[in-house]
Amino acid sequence: MSARTITVPTADHGDVQVTEPDWCTADHTGEAYREDIEHSGAVTYLVIPTECHGPAHALPVGFVWRPFSPTANQITAAIEMDEWHEFDPAGLHRAADALIEHAATLRVYARQLAAMQTHGGDPR
């Protein structure tokens, strides 16, 4: 993983030099306070085919890092939850297949996160 340094203007600490990880896709222009600086990356969705709504996107997972947070300044992986869909037996099998694929994705995120916490770490 590579990283570069960017400057983020803040109301409480002026221009703050921040390590910008290569996975970050966040816009850092609206962060008024240094502790609110948040790196976030692209998310990967679990995609379950449904008869009622077509492909349903759920359980997005992505990396988040608030390097100046006073309580939690480690890189983490965040998962968002979401609505109801109905399945017939074949649809349930497709959902189960999608869950197995997503489980593999979560393991990839876990390995990447462990590497980032070890090597990318805390800039302070």
Note the residues at the interface with Zn ion (CB under 5 A): 20, 24, 26, 39
Closest CB 25 distance from Zn ion, rounded Å: 8
Phi first, then psi: give them for residue 5, nearest 5 degrees: -105, 135
d(CA 89, CA 58): 20
Residue with Cβ nearer Zn ion (66 or 102): 66
Nearer to Zn ion, 31 or 98 (CB): 31
Cβ atoms within 10 Å of 23's Cβ, excluding its own:
19
Smaller CB separation from Zn ion, 24 or 98: 24
Which tokens belong to 59? 């359980």
Quote the least distance from Cβ 65 to Zn ion, whole Å: 8
Residue closer to Zn ion (CB basis): 45 or 63: 63
Write the DSSP assignment of 24-51 as a string of letters.
Answer: B---GGG--SGGG--EEB--EEEEEEET
Max CA distance (Å), the chain: 58
Q: Which residue has the tokens 């400057």?
A: 7
Closest separation between CB of residue 23 and Zn ion, Å? 9
CB-closest chain residue to Zn ion = 24
Cβ at position 20, least distance to Zn ion in Å: 5
